[in-house]
Structures are given as C-alpha cells and as structure tokens.
C-alpha cells in the first residue's frame, strides 16, 4: 500500500513538473474551458476571435504592421464601437490570418485550375470587407459627432454670453451619454476634470485626439485661450467659431451636391452612350441577318 501511494505521488510530481516546464496549468485550462462553455454564443465568438488575433499578432511582419498604423486602426475600431472587443493588435492578427488564407486559396486555385477568383474572394471577404466596414462605421460616427459638436458649440456660445458655467454645460451634455457618441466622450472629459484635477482645455484636447475631429481641437484652443486670459473673450470666440463651422458645413454641403451632380451627369452620359451603342449594334445585326438570308 505504501509503495502504491509512493508511486502515485511520483507520477503526480512528474506530470506536474512536465506541465510546469511547458508553462501550462491543466486545472486552470479545464476551469477556463468550462467557464467559456457557459458563456453566450456571441461572447464565445468574441473570445475566440480575440485569442486568435492575439496569437497571430506575434507573427505579423513589421512591414505589414507599419502599413496598418496601430494608432489609426485603434481609433477607427473605437469609433466603430470596438467590434467583438478587439484591440488594434488583435484586429491586425486576424487580418494577417485572413491574408494567409487568401494566399493559400490563390495557390490552391491555381493548382486545381480554378483560377485566381476564389483566392481574390477570400482576400476580399477576409481583409477588404472588415477594413471597409470599420472605416465606414467610424466615418458615420465621426459625422454624427461633428453635427452634435456644432450644435454644442452654439450652446456654449449662448451660455458663455449669459455667464453660465462652461463645466455645467459640459455636464448637461454628458447626461446624454446613453444615446450620443459625443456625449460619451464629453462624459469622460468631465470625469477627468472633476476627479483627475485637469484643466478643461487639456482634457478636451485629449478628447479631440481620440475622435480625430478638427472642430474639437478648435474648441479646445478657444477654451485654452479663455483659461489663459481669465475667461475674457470666450463668448465672442465661441460665436466666431460657431459661425466658422456653419460656413464650413455649408461649403461642404455645396461641394457634396456638386460631386453628386457630376456623378449623375457621368452616369446619364454613360447610360445614353451604352443605350445608343446597343441600338446601333442591334440594328446592324438585324440588317446583316436580312442580307444574309
């Protein structure tokens, strides 16, 4: 009995030493697998994608990592709502895996005589579509933030003229954090000012860097100038900034209309040319058939 217990203890020590050498903990892995199995499907998919991206991130070549700027990618992911909780490095890893799958599909398609179309489809679906979706989603969020920020700057101008506290107006804006992406950013600004002891202009400048909107930098500059000179000229500066933003938005609208008119003209011209060509070719074919018969 004693020797059996001793042999079992020796086997246990050997197994423990082996897994310790491999830097693994089977018990912790089993607990993690059990906890993952109890999660909802979306959470399991999120964990799988994040783990796969994290594992592949270390194998991404430096040239490819520099091609997709981590800071820019992190900004777009944040504005897109952080899909599946992915960080920039994890997203890069997933793009790298999708690129490898596309290259493998290209080689396999060539070998089997299927051509390059399957590989190009894999590359487009695995690399092109995720990047396009993130870019479009981030652009929509930025456009919504710009509209909200223009309206908020007009409110600040009116409030500053009436001697209302600027921080109080920021707090009122932050109260809409549940359904306004700009309000969520301003909520973080208010928290930094109240708990972190930072100046409002400094926290606002950091927010501008996080959302990459020029108007936010201009608002931070106005507040910084007002803080430097004791609040003098803030109302006038905000009114001037609001007028400038309105003029800029009007110019952008006119430019968008002109671009749309250009595209519509091009589409109409191409349609007319193609239609005329089809009719001409059809008439020539009919005449040729009549002469042939």
Burial 240-259 (b: 16+ CB within 10 A, else e): ebbeebeeeeeeeeeeeeee
Last residue within a domain, chosen from 139, 172, 204: 139
Q: For residues 216 and 163, state if they share a domain.
A: yes
260 inside domain: no
d(CA 114, CA 196): 61
Q: Note whether residue 272 is domain-resident.
A: no
What mean pLDDT is predicted for residues 123-145?
A: 89
Give yes or no: residues 25 and 114 share one domain. Answer: yes
The reported pLDDT for the residue numbered 137 is: 92
Residue 54 within any structural domain of the chain: yes
Please give the residue range of the domain that contains residue 120.
Answer: 2-139
pLDDT at 82 over 80: yes
235 and 157 Cβ atoms separated by less than 8 Å: yes
Of the residues 139, 173, 206, the one at which a domain ends: 139
Q: Kindly state the average pLDDT of the residues 212-219.
A: 89
Tell me the average pLDDT across 192-204.
88
**Residue 214 CB-density burial (10 A; 0-12 exposed, 13-18 middle, 19+ buried):** exposed
Per-residue model confidence as pLDDT tens digits over 222-265: 888 888 877 777 888 888 888 888 787 777 677 767 776 777 77
Q: Is residue 289 part of a domain?
A: no
The number of distinct structural domains making up the chain is 2
Q: How confident is the model at residue 38 (pLDDT cuts 50, 70, 90)?
A: low
Is residue 102 domain-shared with residue 164, that is, in the same domain? no
Q: Is the pLDDT of residue 171 over 50?
A: yes
pTM comes to 0.69
Domain end marker among 114, 139, 164: 139
Grade residue 3 by pLDDT with cuts at 50, 70 and 90.
Answer: very low
Compute how many other C-beta atoms are within 10 angstroms of the C-beta atom of residue 195. Answer: 8
Tell whether 217 and 94 lie within a shared domain. Answer: no
Question: Could you tell me if 160 and 145 lie in one domain?
Answer: yes
Is pLDDT at 170 greater than 70 in this prediction?
yes
**pLDDT at residue 116, rounded to an integer:** 76
12 assigned to some structural domain: yes
Question: Comparing 25-39, 47-61, 75-89, 227-241, which segment has the lowest mean pLDDT?
Answer: 25-39
Give the 3-state secondary structure of 24-91.
CCHHHHHHHHHHHHCCCHHHHHHHHHHHHHHHHHCCCCHHHHHHCCHHHHHHHHHHCCCHHHCCHHHH
Question: Considering the domain boundaries, does residue 104 fall inside one?
Answer: yes
pLDDT of res. 133: 92
Position 283 confidence tier, pLDDT thresholds 50, 70, 90:
low
């Amino acid at each position: 009995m004693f020797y059996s217990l001793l042999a079992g203890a020796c086997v246990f020590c050997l197994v423990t030493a082996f897994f310790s050498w491999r830097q693994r903990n089977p018990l912790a892995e089993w607990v993690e697998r059990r906890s993952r199995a109890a999660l909802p499907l979306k959470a399991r998919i999120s964990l799988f994608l994040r783990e796969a991206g994290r594992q592949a991130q270390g194998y991404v070549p430096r040239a490819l990592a520099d091609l997709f700027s981590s800071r820019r990618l992190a900004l777009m992911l944040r504005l897109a709502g952080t899909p599946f909780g992915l960080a920039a490095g994890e997203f890069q890893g997933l793009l790298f895996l999708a690129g490898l799958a596309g290259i493998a599909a290209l080689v396999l398609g060539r070998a089997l005589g299927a051509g390059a179309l399957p590989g190009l489809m894999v590359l487009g679906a695995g690399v092109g579509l995720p990047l396009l979706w993130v870019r479009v989603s981030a652009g929509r969020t930025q456009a919504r933030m710009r509209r909200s920020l223009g309206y908020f700057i007009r409110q600040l101008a009116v409030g500053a003229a009436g001697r209302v506290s600027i921080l109080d107006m920021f707090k009122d804006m932050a109260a809409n954090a549940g359904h306004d992406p700009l309000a969520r950013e301003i909520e973080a600004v208010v928290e930094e000012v109240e708990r972190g002891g930072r100046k409002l202009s400094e926290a606002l400048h950091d927010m501008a860097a996080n959302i990459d909107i020029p108007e936010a930098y201009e608002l931070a500059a106005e507040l910084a100038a007002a803080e430097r000179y004791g609040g003098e000229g803030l109302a006038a500066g905000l009114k001037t900034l609001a007028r400038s933003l309105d003029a800029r938005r009007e110019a952008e609208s006119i430019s968008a209309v002109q671009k749309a008119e250009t595209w519509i003209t091009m589409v109409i011209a191409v349609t007319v040319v193609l239609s005329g060509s089809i009719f001409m070719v059809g008439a020539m074919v009919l005449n040729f058939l009549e002469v042939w018969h």
